[in-house]
Structure 1
Amino acid sequence: MNPFRDHSTPIILAIFFASAPWGRSDETASREFFAREVYPILKEHCYRCHGEEEKLKGDFRITSREGLLHGGGLGPALDEAEPKASLLLESVAYTNDDLQMPPKNRLSEDQVAVLTRWVTD
């Protein structure tokens, strides 16, 4: 079953990610922000390679907090101690020469800002 095709997935993921330590203190606002802003970016630009079981690339999964903390071949995607230094943010901002994601169709500055806010707030 593909979890991103289920219409309840944005709500479930929003609850899951809003409870993460990098989530904002206002849980309702965090959930709404994730569902409205973050989830569409992850679904459109990341899930195909880093969410589907049969196509998982780089041993990196975005569908759980554990997957983000574990990361892939280059290490954890999120740095809980220093969120601004997270590999996830380096890769989507193209500031890491070894890892630039997505490799085609670079995210807009606004999309990078959304992911940065999500990780650092």
Structure 2
Amino acid sequence: MRRIVAGVSVLIAAWVVWGLQGGRVEASDNAATPEFYTTQVQPILRANCYRCHGGFNHRGGLSLQTRAGMLKGGHDGPVLVPGDPAKSLLVRLIRHEGPANDPMPMPPKSPKISDADIAIISRWVQAGAIMPADAAQP
């Protein structure tokens, strides 16, 4: 009986909290916010891309630490087309669907990043690739 009461209490508490929030989605779940980039996208880029395209490393002339760096791109041009993941080279490369003349899928010499991580980056690009002004900070 105590388990049932405890379980019902947890459900009621969750319902009250959700109701107090007005059923809102947390900012970190909204791909069109800087918080989404900071909490969802940047950790993926940091873990998989910054070794070659962050800090002082800009292989191929590309820095992924700032929006300006992605829009400028590297030797092959911009890697980011805000609002259009299909045209964003970044998304195509992490999906391993890069240009036919590019033999190097990203990340190189590593397994393809997870489909869940690719979906997060795609959602972020689709929502306009919003980043905070200080996104380059570690």
So what's the TM-score if we normalise by structure 2? Answer: 0.61
The 8 Å contact of residues 83 and 125 in structure 2, kept in 1 or not, is answered as: no
**Alignment partner of 1:43 is 2:46:** yes
| Mean CA deviation greater in 73-82 or 87-96 | 73-82
SS at match of 1:79: coil
**Structure 1 unaligned runs (5+)?**
1-22, 25-29
Q: What one-letter code is carried by the residue in structure 2 that aligns with 1:113? A: A
Report 1:90-109 matches (<5 A): 90-96=92-98, 97=100, 98=102, 99-103=104-108, 104-109=110-115
Q: What one-letter code is carried by the residue in structure 2 that aligns with 1:116? A: S
Larger radius of gyration: 2
| Mean CA deviation greater in 84-93 or 99-108 | 99-108
| Structure 1 pair 40–113 and aligned structure 2 pair: CA distance change class (3 A) | same
So what's the TM-score if we normalise by structure 1? Answer: 0.69
Higher relative contact order (CA 8 A, sep 6+): 2
Q: Which runs of 4+ in 1 moved over 3 A?
A: 80-83
Matching residue of 2:8: none
Q: Sequence identity, in percent? A: 37
Matching residue of 2:123: 117
SS at match of 1:44: helix
Q: Partners in 2 of 1:80 and 1:35 — Cα distance?
A: 17
**Alignment partner of 1:84 is 2:81:** no
Q: How many residues matched?
A: 93
| Structure 1 pair 32–82 and aligned structure 2 pair: CA distance change class (3 A) | closer
Q: What's the CA shift string for 1:17-75, capped at 9, x where partnerless?
A: xxxxxx72xxxxx223222211110111111110121x321110011111101111111
Q: Partners in 1 of 2:114 and 2:83 — Cα distance?
A: 26
Matching residue of 2:37: 34
Q: Partners in 2 of 1:110 and 1:82 — Cα distance?
A: 18
| Structure 1 pair 64–78 and aligned structure 2 pair: CA distance change class (3 A) | same
| Structure 1 pair 73–114 and aligned structure 2 pair: CA distance change class (3 A) | same
